[in-house]
Structure 1
Amino acid sequence: MADERDETIRARSRGSAPVPLSVLDLAVVGSGLTASSALRTTVALARLAERRGYHRFWVAEHHSMPGVASSSPAVILAHLAAHTRRIRLGSGGVMLPNHAPLVIAEQFGTLEALAPGRVDLGLGRAPGTDGVTAAALRRTDRLNEAADDFPRRLAELIGFLDDGFPDGHPYARVHAVPGPVQGSVPGGVQTADRPPVWLLGSSGFSARLAGTLGLPFSFAHHFSSAHTLPALDLYRASFRPSAVLDRPYASIGVAALAADDEREARRQVLTGALSMIRLRTGRPGLVPTPEEAEAHPFSALEREFVDSWLANVVYGTPDAVRDGLDELVKRTGVDEIKITGSAHGRSARLRSYELIADAYHLPVLDGDAPDPDGRA
């Protein structure tokens, strides 16, 4: 993480952004579009983020949501690794209670082998879905038990990533491959490098745990803004230096979208607000078009929700978005911002990240990765 911190300082110096800017993507599927087109847009976004100097590109795990195609972050990240060269890639996050720790260690060890030195493993404690779907994923009805077991599962996962179980441990002879064990056998030349682990959260639990373990922490400001400052304060107060970090490193996910004018920006973010209304009322679907969102007959209660939702979205012209992000950095003191820009179509999302990069005078970098299918 020390080498990465040096890189974040260099990234910051290349533009005028107060902290490194990164991307959090959900591979959203718009009305009239397909999962294939959504995933091609994710590739296009990763390539644009790399070309425009964003620091990292993360994808999030969600399940049973028609409008979100990122149910398998490791699969998507392997594809992104083939379409990029420099940008850090990671999960924002993998929901640890949904998976056996050994499986995650194997998946991300494979990703590290495919893209050495640029893979992050962000871990969440929530299911990334509703309770029934979580039960189907975990094959258990004891969902709270799985969440409460998070610290033990995390320790087990780190044990597999480091190949560090002590003699006598039940898993001492179990090895995650690809992984460090390949460097300790006769003829082995595998490095001991492994993806850095981040903890993600929308409350204080993961904030405290990340601080206690000396791990980097990312807070979901984009859907839990009221808890952002308390969680960051708890993380910093709980922080203990570790072999990973000598001081706290915190980021926040921020919903932000820039357009050429304020009206167009509002049209685009309104689609996300309507999607959330449908999700929270048990009617999840594809992301509506701006025209559909504008024509929707919002009830008084729905309009109240829209106003509350959009109050936590940074949107408007590029200058307005830059000012909003700068204010957030000043207020929270975070070390990095991860921008999630949800909108219906490909062009609006690509345009937003391009405009934000322009607003911060981020450089246009040379040397795009090859684009094998010509459509990404």
Structure 2
Amino acid sequence: MNISNHSGNAPFVLSVLDNAFTGVGHRVENTIQEMIALAKLADKRGFQRFWMSEHHAMPGAAVPSPQMMVARLTGETERIRLGAGGIMLPNHVPLVVAEQFGMLDAMAPGRIDLGLGRAPGTDGATASALRRHKAANDEFPQQVGELLGFLENSFPKDHPYSEVHAVPGPWQAEQNRVPLSKTTTDVWILGSSTYSAHLAAQLGRPYAFALQFGSADVLNAMRIYRENFRPSKILAKPYSLVSIGAIADEDPIEARRQSTSSAMAMLRMFQRKPFALLPPDEVAAFQGNIQERQVIEQYTNQIIHGTAAEVAEGLENLQEQTGVDEIMLVVQGYSRHAQSHTVELIADHYDMTSN
């Protein structure tokens, strides 16, 4: 795993996560085009990677298949690493995922990341429709091992799948008498709890913690990851990332307004309503009870919002507290312009590369 930091004067590597937020009144076709534009912008401005997450049955999130968007973006970008952050592995058959990411690495050698998570990325009923059986996420470590076996063609001879091979991949190169590819997909372990920290450490893989979901025990998770890390052929020492919601604007009031839309969407999820991004004015007019307003306030405050300098200060404080190597901006806001503007302002603040 090679890291080349293009992130200007930032004291850490900077990346972008786009959840394909599609606000009420917005068309998904426009969201897809704006995601492509944002990936190109992040590439131009020197961000390390551009990830997308798997979500299902949510009107406010438009990418159930990040690997399809990655395939498109391989032809739209030049340098930036592209990835799924993540693929919810219990929703998938590991062999198929290995085949898909083998193809992606062939399209953009050395630029593909595969982040693996075990959450469903949706509600319980939809998860049931997606998964082979109800206990699928309990088998996550075994599924990860199976996926790595297919990606690396490394099953022992007595394994049931020792004669099953992911194509493209190392086996195909051997059969076709050509050199093995010099690049492979970088596999990350994702999570928002200490469970994932133990697994990432055991496997010697890079670890990404999703702080945008709430004030979980990120410090303990990072400690567990570092203290238990086992060097691997992929990674000699721990490498960690934390993702966090962020909105920057010249007007800090507008940044906070934009933050309220995703906070309201979280409240709707708790109320068993669809995850929908309402316009900030509609959120402001919401006549909720005290508990509902507290939830909106809580999730608004969990997003780092304000001027570029204020957001940068929040990111630097987060990095100082967690000691992570990389911070990923989870672009937020009802407006897609708010998301691209955040990327521009942070890039300007840190004097990041402009190709």
Instruction: Give the TM-score range, shorter chain.
Output: over 0.9
2:91 corresponds in structure 1 to: 98
What amino acid maps onto 1:340 in structure 2? Answer: V
Residue-by-residue CA offset, 1:17-66 (whole Å, 9 max, x unaligned):
11010011111111111111111111111011011111100000111111
SS in 1 for 2:302: coil
Q: What is the CA distance between 1:313 and its match in structure 2?
A: 1.2
Normalising by the residue count of structure 1, what TM-score does the alignment of the two structures yield? 0.92
Is 1:347 aligned to residue 340 of structure 2? no
Looking at structure 2, the residues matched to 253 and 133 of structure 1 have their Cα atoms a distance apart, in angstroms, of: 25
In structure 2, what is the equivalent of residue 196 of structure 1?
Answer: 186
Residue in 1 that maps onto 2:157: 167
Matches within 5 A, 1:218-233: 218-233=208-223
Query: Match for residue 272 of structure 2?
Result: 282
Match of 1:40 in 2: 33
Alignment check: 8 A CA contact 1:180 1:193 kept: no
**Which of 169, 173, 179 is the aligned partner of 1:179?**
169
- Which residue is 2:69 aligned to? 76
Q: Offset at 1:189?
A: 4.1
SS at match of 2:231: coil
TM-superposed deviation, 1:180: 1.0
Give the residue type in structure 2 aligned to 1:108: F
Shift of 1:154: 0.8
**Residue in structure 1 matching 2:286, options 293, 296, 299:** 296
Taking only the aligned residue pairs, the percentage that are identical comes to: 47
Q: 2:317 maps to what in 1?
A: 327
How far apart, in 2, do the equivalents of 1:95 and 1:124 lie? 5
d(CA) in 2 for partners of 1:361 and 1:225? 30
| Pairing 1:262–2:252 present | yes
Alignment correspondent of 2:51 = 58
Residues 186/256 of structure 1: CA separation in 2 closer, same or farther (3 Å cut): closer
> 5+ residue gaps in structure 1?
366-376
Q: What is the Cα deviation at residue 193 of structure 1? A: 2.9
User: SS of the residue aligned with 1:97?
Assistant: helix
Quote how far apart the aligned CAs of 1:181 are: 1.3
Distance in 1 (CA, whole Å) between partners of 2:93 and 2:176 is 29
Deviation at 1:268, TM superposition (A): 0.5
Q: Give how far 1:226 is off.
A: 2.9
Partner of 1:251: 241
Separation (CA, whole Å) in 1 of partners of 2:86 and 2:275: 22
In the alignment, structure 1 residue 128 sits paired with structure 2 residue 124 = no
- Structure 2: which amino acid aligns with 1:238? N
Change (3 A) 1:246 1:338: same
Distance in 2, matches of 1:52 and 1:296, equals 38
| Residue in structure 2 matched with residue 370 of structure 1 by the alignment | none
Which is further off, 179-188 or 127-136? 179-188
Is it true that 1:359 corresponds to 2:352 in the alignment? no
Aligned equivalents of 1:157 and 1:294: distance in 2? 46
CA contact (8 A) 2:193 2:216 kept: no
Other-structure match for 1:373: none
C-alpha distance in structure 2 between counterparts of 1:116 and 1:161, whole Å: 14
CA contact (8 A) 2:85 2:116 kept: yes
Q: Supply the distance in 1 between the matched residues of 2:335 and 2:125 (Cα, whole angstroms).
A: 30
Deviations 1:291-318 (A, max 9, x none): 2222222321122112221222110011
Gaps of 5+ in 2: none
Distance 2:59 2:224 in 1: 35
Given that 2:214 and 2:302 are in contact with CA atoms closer than 8 Å, whether structure 1 keeps it comes out as no
RMSD: 1.3
Partner Cα separation in structure 2 for residue 189 and residue 332 of structure 1 = 41
8 Å Cα contact 1:92/1:123 also seen in 2: yes
- On the 8 A contact 2:151/2:166 being kept in 1, the answer is yes
Aligned equivalents of 1:133, 1:86: Cα separation in 2: 36
Structure 2 counterpart of 1:305: 295
Aligned equivalents of 1:135, 1:268: Cα separation in 2: 33
Q: Deviations over 1:113-151 (max 9, x none)?
A: 1111100010001111122111100142x2xx2112111
Letter in 1 for 2:43: E
1:177-213: CA deviation from partner (whole Å, max 9, x where unpaired): 1111122114334515320110000111110010111
SS at match of 1:260: coil
Letter in 2 for 1:323: E
Moved >3 Å (runs of 4+): none
In structure 2, what is the Cα distance between the partners aligned to 1:276 and 1:42? Answer: 22
CA contact (8 A) 1:183 1:192 kept: no
Moved more, 94-103 or 287-296: 287-296
Deviations 1:307-361 (A, max 9, x none): 2212221100111001110110111100000111221122111111101111111
Pair 1:110-2:103 in alignment: yes
Partner Cα separation in structure 1 for residue 179 and residue 323 of structure 2: 41
Write the distance in 1 (CA, Å) between the matches of 2:110 and 2:182.
Answer: 11
One-letter amino acid of the counterpart of residue 26, structure 1: N
Determine the structure 2 residue equivalent to 1:86: 79
Q: 2:306 aligns with which of 299, 316, 329?
A: 316
SS in 2 for 1:334: coil
Q: Conserved in 2, the CA contact under 8 Å of 1:23 and 1:339? A: yes
